Homo-oligomer: A and B are copies of this chain.
Amino acid sequence: MGDVAKVAGVSRATASYALRGDPRIVPETAGKVRKAARTLGYTTNLSARSLRSGRNGVIGVAIFELDKAYPSQMSAAISKEVNRKGLQAIVQQTSNSQEGEIAVLKEVTSQLCDGTIFSPGQVSDEEIRALSDNKPMVLLDDFSDEAIFDTVFTPCEAGAKAAILHLVDVGCRHICVLGNSYRPLRALGEPTTVAGRRLKGALEGFAESGMAVTEDDFVQCDQWDFSLARQQVHCLVESGRSFDGLFCMTDSLAFGAIRGLVDCGLRVPDDVAVMGFDGVAEDEYMTPSLSTISVDIEDLAHKAVSLLLKRFEGSDEPFVAEKLTAKFKLVARESTAKRR
């Protein structure tokens, strides 16, 4: 930067101001500095800036798994939204483990980034605060009732409820649910997990439609991935249970489930209608195409980034955590196109 200042014929301080567009520098001077910087191929050293000012224009996105469709598509949407605001995003995977989450926050995100959008799984809000180094943080789907951080939610309850009502609507008489085991609605309270929230929404759907359910209609999946879903569906079918509708708590589960149903010689949707949740790009191209609760990830990204940027501005008012919920759409496709 010293060179740039010299070429432009100003001091280093003036060069610094000019390059960041400080209004105190007259346009003419600023122009000279920018030109000098360009000809010298100068780029600001982010480490130095970060060290001195604590800011570098980089936002961190910490997500559980990068190799699954939904989280990766969400990270991509957030990255794009960050770029749209003229900033850069870096994404990291926590691998769904406590050490992973701690390492990412402590060693990278809170150090190299001005703020973080974080999807927590294994660490408490208090731990997050300790690791955040007092930098702005927006959480994704943190249903704990502490109000320490701004949070954006997936529309778990409303979405799950809509899914059940849709299955009922297309004529299903006996619906199973894949992703969480049963607990009675009145015992559920305000669940603190995504799986709990989706269960609650589903139960509300059953209640509203007047459809009776039993404990056995709900199948727990500790991992929300293809292979376990496939296995669980095999078990469900082999148990002799007869059902004509299946709500899967994520699209991944639905992919595995459909495959499991096909393995057992059942047709989708004629024998069993299947409903997913997420709205990943693959849904439309499956055979059959997958009906789903499509979370508006652009809206989610927009809300998360906006909350974060608002915190950058700082405010004198006492901190009040904001809670926003992303929009969703029910998308009906072949997997629930039942002949009635």
* Chain A residues packing against B (C-beta within 8 Å): 41, 43, 45-48, 50-51, 56-58, 65-67, 69, 72-73, 75-77, 79-80, 83, 88-93, 95, 100, 103-104, 106-108, 111-112, 130, 226-227, 230, 255-256, 258-259, 262, 281-282, 284-287, 289
| Copies of this protein, total | 2
Q: Could you tell me the distance between the alpha carbons of A125 and B300 in the complex, rounded to whole angstroms? A: 37
A90 contact from B72, B92, B100, Cβ within 8 A: B92
CB distance from A99 to the nearest CB of B (A): 10
Contacts of A256 in B (CB 8 A): 285
Partner of A259 from the list B95, B106, B111, B287 (CB cut-off 8 Å) is B287
Query: How far apart sit A48 and B46, CA to CA, in the bound complex (Å)?
Result: 11
Residue pair B285, A287 in contact (C-beta under 8 Å): no
Q: Which 3 A-B pairs have the closest CB atoms?
A: A67-B76, A72-B72, A66-B76
Complex alpha-carbon distance, A50 and B47, angstroms:
6
- Chain B residues positioned under 8 Å from A104 (CB to CB): 88
Q: For chain A, what secondary structure do more than half of its interface residues adopt (helix, strand, loop), or is it mixed? A: helix
Contact of A112 among B46, B69, B75 (CB under 8 A): B46
User: Roughly how many angstroms separate A83 CA and B100 CA in the complex, as a whole number?
Assistant: 9
**How far apart sit A92 and B259, CA to CA, in the bound complex (Å)?**
33
Contact yes or no, B91 A255, CB < 8 A: no
Alpha-carbon separation in the docked complex, A274 to B286 (Å)? 15
Q: Are B43 and A106 in contact (CB under 8 A)?
A: yes
Out of B66, B107, B285, name the residue touching A230 (CB < 8 Å): B285
